[in-house]
Amino acid sequence: MIDDAAFSDPARERKIFVSRLLIAIFLAFVLGLVVIARYVDLQLTRYQDFATHADNNRMHVRPAPPSRGLIYDRNGELLADNRPTYILTIVRERSDNLSELLGTIGSLIEISDNDIKRFEKRLTRRKP
C-alpha cells in the first residue's frame, strides 16, 4: 500500500487553512460593517421618518355606520334618529388652560353650556 504521509504536505495545508481563515474573518468583518451601517441608517438617518409613522399609527379614525336607521311611528313622526356620540378624555396634568381647551373643543363639536358646567362640577369633585 502507498503511504498517505508521502502525499500530505503540512506546509501547504497550513497555508490553505490560513488563507481560508483570513477570507472567513474578512467576510465576517464586512458583514458586521453592513449590519452597523444599516443600524446607523435606521437609527440616525431615518429616525424622523419612523417617528412620524409611529405618531400617525397611534390614532385611527374609523367612521362607524349606525346599526339602525331612523325610526318612525305609524303616523310618520320621527321617534329616534342617529346623532353622533363623542367620548372625550382630558388629562388634567397635560392641559395648561382648561377653559381654552374647552373653547377649542367647542369650536370642533357642539358642546352646550350645561355640558361644560357638568364637566367643571365633575372636575372639582374628582381631585386626586
What does the pLDDT look like over 56-99, one tens digit per residue? 777 777 887 766 778 889 999 998 887 777 787 877 778 788 88
| Per-residue pLDDT band at 25 (split at 50, 70, 90) | very high
Residue, of 13 and 60, whose pLDDT is higher: 13
Residue 119 burial by CB count (10 A; 0-12/13-18/19+): exposed, middle or buried?
Answer: middle
Closest listed residue to residue 111, CA positions, set 62, 82, 119: 119
pTM for this one?
0.39
- pLDDT score, position 81: 83
